[in-house]
Chain A
Amino acid sequence: MKKFHIDFYAHRRVYFGISIGFFLLGIIFNFVFGTQLDTNFKGGAMLRYSYSGEINPNTIEDSVQQAINRDVTVTINRNVKSADGSQTLNNVTLALAGNDSLSLENQKTLTATLTKLYPKANFNLVTSDSVNPTMGRSFFLKCIVAILIAFLLLDFYIALRFRKIGGAAAGFFAIVALLHDVAIVYFTFIIFRIPLNDSFIAVVLTILGYSLNDTIVIYDRIRENRRLMGLKTGFSVLVNASINQTLTRSVYTALCTFISVATVYVVGMIYNLSSVTTFALPMMMGVISGCYSTVCIAGPLYVMWENRKSRLRAQTAAIAAPARTPAVPAGSDGSAPVSASAKGSGKKVKTKAKAKKRKR
């Protein structure tokens, strides 16, 4: 059977680097282009018509501006496939400037203006969207509150579950992994310049649940292995072994989920279904990140923490009882044998440290 022997702990700097790099890229994009909110959240209006023949976007922009006294951006998509394959159509999208909704009268004026400009183009309304800014804002708030509630509930579940598994520290790094995934999904929206919409909320929530389940499975293995491998085993060895054992499952599940979402994305691209692609792309990134954050971020961070803890413990012990306990060389990056020895005498050292405190 194929077994993985990847030293995730030793390569941690590479993984941290990759994540930080992606975040930096996201932050730069965020500064340059800003955060776009979809009309659903900020209000605004958009209309899309199908048409035939030739039209000039600039002429349309000017005429519409005169007719309804509001700036408009016109984009044209040619040869949009319809999925039954029979026909291809040209689409023209009119996005109105500002966050106000468009009254019905103005919508009608707009259609009339187009028909008057190009009587032969046979304009047909494909889809229209007009959202009042107040409604948009309260919807946005509601979504943010939902994410917070989900996050709190999951934290609660983590606290409940990790009391048994790895304690507060493990729970904390599970949360770090979740935040990492939310950040990845957010920056995917930013980098691909997709306006934040209700899909964003759906993707973030799904990934929160998806990623956490991975993390719990791995920490559960760590607990199981601690029993099997004994306390003498170094922490990095323990965590590495656990991650490698669960890796098959993590990767396979992530792969199957990725295959499904990627298929949706590709088909969405072919038929130009923006509502589908803007949902599938961040979901793809989230699925990868959900698997990656657990294996490459949460695991190594947990080892670093535990190593630091035992090193500190050993140092305290060294100061407290230099005569009896052999000093642990400081500055080592917590490789297995060192931490193991510290762990081994952990109990004794702890009592000493406590005794010293009491004396003070």
Chain B
Amino acid sequence: MKRVKKPVFFIVALLILLFTYASVFGIKGKNGDNTVTYIKGVNDIRWGIDINGGVEATFTPVTTKKATNNQMDAAEATIKQRMIGENITDYEVYTDYNHSRIIVRFPWKNDEKNFDPQKSIEELAATAQVTFREGMEYTTQTTGSDGQPVYKTPKGTTASNIILQGNEIEKATPEMTQDKTTGKTTYVVGLQLSESGKAKFADATTKMVGQTISIWMDDTMISYPKVEEAITDGSCEINGGTNGFTAAEASALANKINAGALPFKLSITDSNTISPTLGKSSLSAMRTAGIIAFILVALFMILMFRLPGVVAVISLLGQVALSFAAVSGFFPWQNSFTLTLPGVAGIILSIGMGVDANIITATRIKEELWTGKTLDMAITRGDDNSFWAIFDGNITVIIVAIILMLVFGPKNILSYWFGASTTGSIYSFGYTLLIGIIGNFVFGVLTTRQMTRALSAFGCFRNRWLYGGPSDVKQMEGGAEA
């Protein structure tokens, strides 16, 4: 047997414990009054709407013709703009062009007291009112969920003097222009006005050269370009000022302006709302279940397998920690993942499934011991013989976990035919199941083996009884058993 030095056990066990601590509590520091999160813990997990409470709704245009992709983009932009304006973070919007659907999912704000899901959905679906107004006087300034300032509620001249209505803009398109002298490419939004818009805009811009015209969606200002020259031919560009637009900014603004001229209303085909209290209550129930399940499985392993059982519990801890880390956004390169109730169930399920690798190895070692092998021999043979069984066991579950993620994921090959699904909660289950199995493989094979071998180097842990074999003491008294 390849000898593993004694301290390896403590190093591996300590690393697992540290990892577990960090993945549960995170690592946070104080920078003045602000808490800075260096590593995210369980409290930073982004919970799905079934835990946090929230709204999921599907919108479809009410129109006999199929909505074009541009129109769908405009409708999507409206919804996103409203989310940002309401300072709702963590919203998800999926647009399915094939089936003309927009699926929106958003959790309740933490400080939401008076939640009225029906009203929220209605507000999202309302047709966007886009206006071009004189000046840029606003009543309130707040910070939106994207970190940009949000200016709300026009006042003064801006409130009274509306230059154009949304339906007077035929179309807005993002365009790329190249500066002839510098060769630098910038993005602009090109506007094409209708006949009535053309006249109004010509009047206004002639008077207002050098002044600002602000563009509003509903109650929120979305842009405030300065008039550089009088525009009389009904077509113009918004160029984004000195810094210019990025491609994304230009198309976002174009989509928002187009939303004001959408030829259809959005209707709500599906809706699902969950109150925050129901979700919170389910989460603490699942937390209890998780802790109880872990304790029961740990007891079972220690009673059945003795020393390898203890090792298995340490590895299992690492596996659960990996599951937490995988959803909380523990590693810097990874995004946080929305965890739903089935997702939590997946973590608990993988606690049970996760000891499989340890069970296979430990039973193999036990068998070898009972055929009379020495401890070192038994551990080596047990490890070698069990590898493929563990591999096989994991690969089939990995296949189904990936399929689960494909089916219930928001966008994938299947949604091309069947449309994006509204049910994202099982997606999370597939993910935690997958991570659990990977964790089982990493911890159940790698760390378990290192720890078992290191432990077997201790004199006091040489008794084969500790590994489920015949007791060495008894053997000396009563002669060889095996």
Q: Contact residues of A with B, CB < 8 Å?
A: 1, 40, 81-84, 101, 103-104, 107-108, 111, 124-132, 135, 138-139, 141-143, 145-146, 149-150, 153-154, 157, 161, 198-199, 201-202, 205-206, 208-210, 212-214, 216-217, 220, 245, 248-249, 252-253, 255-261, 263-264, 266-268, 270-271, 273, 275-276, 279-280, 283
The residues of B that contact A127 with a CB separation of less than 8 Å are 272-275, 278
Q: Contact residues of B with A, CB < 8 Å?
A: 50, 58, 99, 101, 117-118, 121-122, 268-275, 277-278, 280-286, 288-289, 292-293, 296-297, 300-301, 304, 341-342, 345, 348-349, 351-353, 355-356, 359-360, 363, 366-367, 369-370, 388-389, 392-401, 403-404, 406-408, 414-415, 417-419, 421-423, 425-426, 429-430, 433, 468-470
Q: Are A82 and B277 in contact (CB under 8 A)?
A: yes
Q: Are A198 and B286 in contact (CB under 8 A)?
A: no
Given A141-B418, A276-B345, A279-B345: A135 touches B58 (CB 8 Å cut-off): yes
Expressed in whole angstroms, the minimum distance between the Cβ of A90 and any Cβ of chain B is 14
Expressed in whole angstroms, the minimum distance between the Cβ of B116 and any Cβ of chain A is 8
Expressed in whole angstroms, the minimum distance between the Cβ of B135 and any Cβ of chain A is 36
* A209 and B117 alpha carbons, distance in the complex (Å): 39
What are 15 contact pairs spanning A and B, CB under 8 A?
Answer: A126-B278, A128-B272, A135-B101, A135-B422, A141-B418, A146-B403, A150-B399, A198-B425, A202-B408, A252-B359, A256-B353, A259-B296, A267-B285, A267-B292, A276-B345
* A82 and B276 alpha carbons, distance in the complex (Å): 12
Q: Are B352 and A83 in contact (CB under 8 A)?
A: no
Q: Are A268 and B403 in contact (CB under 8 A)?
A: no
The residues of A that contact B297 with a CB separation of less than 8 Å are 256, 259-260
Given A125-B273, A248-B363, A259-B293: A206 touches B281 (CB 8 Å cut-off): no
Given A142-B415, A146-B406, A263-B296: A217 touches B282 (CB 8 Å cut-off): no
Given A1-B370, A84-B280, A283-B349: A139 touches B285 (CB 8 Å cut-off): no
> Which one of B277, B345, B414 contacts A264 once the chains associate, using CB atoms below 8 Å?
B345
Q: Are B360 and A249 in contact (CB under 8 A)?
A: yes
Expressed in whole angstroms, the minimum distance between the Cβ of A335 and any Cβ of chain B is 28
The residues of B that contact A255 with a CB separation of less than 8 Å are 300
Expressed in whole angstroms, the minimum distance between the Cβ of B469 and any Cβ of chain A is 8
* A215 and B103 alpha carbons, distance in the complex (Å): 41
Q: Are B400 and A208 in contact (CB under 8 A)?
A: yes
The residues of A that contact B393 with a CB separation of less than 8 Å are 213-214, 216-217
The residues of A that contact B395 with a CB separation of less than 8 Å are 157, 213
Q: Are A153 and B353 in contact (CB under 8 A)?
A: no
Given A257-B352, A263-B292: A107 touches B118 (CB 8 Å cut-off): yes
The residues of A that contact B403 with a CB separation of less than 8 Å are 146, 149-150, 153, 205
* A206 and B86 alpha carbons, distance in the complex (Å): 39
In the complex, besides A83-B280, A131-B272, A252-B300, 11 extra interface pairs with C-beta distance below 8 angstroms are: A83-B288, A125-B118, A135-B422, A154-B400, A208-B400, A210-B353, A256-B359, A260-B351, A271-B282, A275-B282, A276-B282
